Structure 1
Amino acid sequence: MSSSPDTQAQAQVQELRHRLQSLLDAAHANERKLDRFDALERRLIAVSSMEELVNLLLVDCRADFGLDAAELWLVDVDDELRRSLPTLPMAKAPRLLDGHGPLRELFGAARTTRLIGPGPDAGLLPAAFEADAGVRSAALLPLIRQGLLIGGLHLGSRDPERYDAASGTKFLDRLAAIAAIAIESMLNRERLRRAGMTDGLTGVHNRRYFDHRSLIEFSQAVRHRYPLACLFLDIDHFKAINDGHGHPVGDEVLRQVGGLILRSLRTGDLAARYGGEEFVVLLPRTDLAGAREVAERIRHMVQEAPFITPEGGTVGATLSAGLAMLPPGATSFADLLAAADRALYEAKRAGRNRTVAACDEADINAATAAAS
């Protein structure tokens, strides 16, 4: 029995209402999504530190958009980020890449946003996320600045239909562009900050920064009663290197010695070029034995290193080290610095290429007095 025209009309009206409601729901959902993206973009533009930026992309973004995983890959060929990020208290750290290879595998020559779900490209998911994330679909966003691929932002979901390959990527493309701008801005700010506190030749901190930071380390050590060691390091016969091989070779020796010192230290230790061929190192929470071990490690590395000259040849060098420990009840950091400087003088007087601690210096002076 066929339905009446009125019944058919009512069914059509119901269908139209259902379609309209679906369109309205989709519009409201898109509006809410747009609002979230807009809020995220405003926060990205306003970030004031790399720590805030990373936490925003990897923690806040994941919570705001109901994601199951978020990862940030950044190219760090010159170790700029490695020098700054380890000291930051971040809930989740980015993956730092030594080259562009992993990014090329994900984005290919097109370097466009990729939506990955179950299908032929599903093999890219384990490569982009930690194995235990359980990601079934993802949006892989290339971060591009000045035509260079500087990283990738990866958003993942356990819902296999969350990122449908047929969906549009307009919002995601815009997010990637804003994130890339924010990352470049933070990197430039970090470069300027480091330029103001870093010795341009050696890459270690400069004297100005050391004078500021040393007072903070001194007050912390006194307040919390933990050991603080100070090393003075001086390249032996450096004038002979300059006179015999030229100042460009001397500069190269300084640069490479600075690199060896940095490689020998922990996060939280402080190294600075104090002047000329002299370096100073502060080792918080380090006892005498530990500080002597660090000084000897640096000394042996310098002694065994073939320093490469600008012409491709090699030259040898050694250094002497003076070591002092912050005494109980200390009231002045200058006393610690002076004690390490005196110990360095004793290391020079005793024949160079050795480590002398302030306590050793007292023994040397006592022995010298007894013999005279």
Structure 2
Amino acid sequence: MTNLAQTPLSDRLRALVDTVQHNERTLRRFQDVELRLIGAQDFASFLDTLFAHLPQEFALASVSVWLDDRTPMLRDLLDPGALRALDLHNLKTSREGGFAASRLCPAGRPWLGRVSAMDEVARVTFFGAGTVPASAIVLPLAAGDKASGYLCLGSQDPARFGEGMATDILERFASIVTASLDNVAHRERLKQLGMTDSLTGLANRRYFDERMREEIQRAARYSVPVACLFIDVDSFKRINDTYGHLTGDRALAAVAACVRQQVRLGDTLARYGGEEFAALLQGDRSDALVAAERVRHAVELLDLQDDNGERIVLTVSIGVAARTIVGGGLDAAEMGQALMDAADRAMYLAKNNGRNRVEVAGD
């Protein structure tokens, strides 16, 4: 084997450029799959991207997923009737499969290697009783410290997934799969409960209040911070009075789309009423302030035009509140309302201090 240090410099540079170009092409292909997952409007299209597009794009012998049907947001998706309708052999939910996958991935780390090294339960879980691939990687789908599922990619090349292989790109991909799955679950739930605002396509107030209760309960269980943004379009009555209600509707839809792009995929965003929006974030006050300032700046740059092609200036005032919920036995609805009230007061402070700004609620 040739020692790379002994090869001519031009050959080494060429090899380095080839490696960089290969990595760039791989990243672009991953980004294409990730965009499909993020844009999936329902569970069926999400699974089609994983089970049909992903293996075709990366020449994989198999792709399979185990999901925990006890996870609150996945219960409806993984209802036995819904699973029978999907009829997908590579979507698994058995308890034994979950235990086998968790044994493979202690401490939330991926497992990779020859499939022959898997125990029988894990092999059957991910590949069934038929022919198995030569090598595979099992990636936890985890939000926080708890896995709601596992993604398994198999290859006929025994060296494709082996010990010592860098897994950072695949772990990042697994995080996108996790967030996209949560997003699909939210969308499906919105459809079932009729909790979508027709103008903006966002969740409505009823759904947001329900998610707030759930998030407060989760935050109390794990003693983690939760944050809320209350966002109000500045001088919206003037926009309606000057340009008409149709243009006002376009302004609300534009702001909604803009805010959606600035918050994380797993965050909850709703049209709370009129020209008011609310966002529920997992994170502390500093995380929420960064997100709020990102939203404020993005809305300020929006290019909404009136019927004559003139730009309409849009700005928002944002109130931020964040709490670390400690201990159980709390009234989640009451705690959620207190968080919303604090963010609402901070938003009015932003209005009074000149609009187009972010203010944070005090302790």
TM-score when normalising by structure 2: 0.48
Q: Which protein has the larger Cα radius of gyration, Structure 1 or Structure 2?
A: 1
Highest relative contact order (Cα 8 Å, sep 6+), 1 or 2?
Answer: 2
